[in-house]
Amino acid sequence: MLAMTLRLGPAPSDIETAAALLRAGKLVAFPTETVYGLGANACDATAAAGIFAAKARALNDPLIVHVASSMPDALDGLAELNALSSQQRDWLARLQRTFWPGPLTLVLPRGPRVPLVVSAGQDTVALRMPDHDLALALITRSGLALAAPSANLFGHVSPTTAAHVLADLDGRIDAVIDGGPTRIGVESTVLSLTGDLPVILRPGGVTREQLAQAGIPLGELRHMPHDDAVQPAPGMLSTHYAPRARLTILPDLAALLRAHADRTGRGSRTGALLTSRQAAAAAHIQPRFELGHTPAEAAQRLLAGLRALDDSNVTEILVVRFERVGLGEAIMDRLTRAAAR
């Protein structure tokens, strides 16, 4: 356990400090366009193992490796591209061209430079190129591919600000770079390229519709990740991404208003996540957190909202379900997991 976590800003000298820490095998949290990540040298097994310890993360949950286009042959030695069919290589090239840098993580055959601990013992590796200046500068200045899961305690809500990171990990990591609130707010889409067809393992910042528009066919996930018994990869457990308060998803605003009246009538402190439109029609509901007008705004604010309501000591959080289209799929995925406790 460390005594102090260094607070860094976006200045080039701060990025240099963070890069030096990473080169020395230390743990540095940094912003990406999705959520904050907890980074370490992906090719150093000891450094990567430190991530699992700091997060209290289960060792069978693999990490995402972050790369930048500034690295010559960014995937060299990280992924084993020779193990892919020419069709799979075509999809990979198109996905990289269309969505990198961006919130799309690609699961590929693991290359020899990636230690087993990063991949949780599997023969695959998850790679992504984040669309964030500070993240890319950190990778470039350190000259390292960075293993980085979301920078929260295992099972908790992912952080979208440096304050969220410190609330979970202060004293457990070496440094955090504060780059302000993240732009997208839900984690990357995890897409496996190792089967006959690409398969979405986790919906996220790149939508199913965007993948289809890019001409990427999608297969079905064979083992439902929501079923803990069948698919024990903890990142896909149904009880992930959870606030302390109980979360209840209601079919519409009328049901939410009834549930709120019922709970408060029984003396329980109950808050709500509300879109701006719902908020206008539910002026009496307190505490509340507003999710804005669009699915993109809701995604950007969702995780901060769960943390804010937790901080106001509610025992239950109510929310109306989102339509599972576009970013609504990732929003509903996270809400469903948060509600599954």
Residues at the site binding Mg ion, with contacts judged by CB under 5 A: 150
Q: Is 63 in the site for ligand TXA (CB under 6 A)?
A: yes
Least distance (Å) between residue 201 CB and ligand TXA: 5
When CB distances are held under 5 to 8 angstroms depending on the partner's kind, the choice from Mg ion, ligand TXA, none that residue 190 binds is ligand TXA
Which residues ranging from 9 to 38 are in contact with ligand TXA (CB under 6 A)?
Answer: 32, 34-35, 37
Residues constituting the chain: 341
Q: Tokens 């998803």 — which residue?
A: 249
Rounded Cα distance between 185 and 302, Å, is 7
Specify the residue, 119 or 278, whose C-beta has the smaller distance to ligand TXA: 119
Specify the residue, 111 or 305, whose C-beta has the smaller distance to Mg ion: 305
When CB distances are held under 5 to 8 angstroms depending on the partner's kind, the choice from Mg ion, ligand TXA, none that residue 35 binds is ligand TXA
Which residues ranging from 281 to 320 are in contact with ligand TXA (CB under 6 A)?
Answer: none
Pairing of strands 28-30, 124-128: unpaired
Burial of 329 (0-12, 13-18, 19+ CB in 10 A): buried
Q: Is 336 in the site for ligand TXA (CB under 6 A)?
A: no
Rounded Cα distance between 269 and 266, Å, is 9
When CB distances are held under 5 to 8 angstroms depending on the partner's kind, the choice from ligand TXA, Mg ion, none that residue 129 binds is none
Q: Is 173 in the site for ligand TXA (CB under 6 A)?
A: no
Specify the residue, 119 or 238, whose C-beta has the smaller distance to ligand TXA: 119
When CB distances are held under 5 to 8 angstroms depending on the partner's kind, the choice from ligand TXA, Mg ion, none that residue 271 binds is none
Least distance (Å) between residue 39 CB and ligand TXA: 8
Specify the residue, 148 or 256, whose C-beta has the smaller distance to ligand TXA: 148
Specify the residue, 298 or 314, whose C-beta has the smaller distance to ligand TXA: 298
Contacts of 13 (CB under 8 A, 6+ apart): none
When CB distances are held under 5 to 8 angstroms depending on the partner's kind, the choice from ligand TXA, Mg ion, none that residue 290 binds is none
Pick the binder of ligand TXA from 141, 156, 183, 202 (CB under 6 A): 202
Pick the binder of ligand TXA from 160, 161, 188, 270 (CB under 6 A): 188
Closest CA to 136 of 125, 126, 146: 146
When CB distances are held under 5 to 8 angstroms depending on the partner's kind, the choice from ligand TXA, Mg ion, none that residue 62 binds is ligand TXA
List the structure tokens of 297: 């705004």
The phi, psi pair for 268, rounded to 5°, reads: -95, 140
Q: Which residues of this chain interact with ligand TXA, rule CB under 6 A? A: 32, 34-35, 37, 61-64, 103, 105, 107, 119, 122, 124-126, 128, 130, 148-150, 187-188, 190, 201-202, 233, 235-236
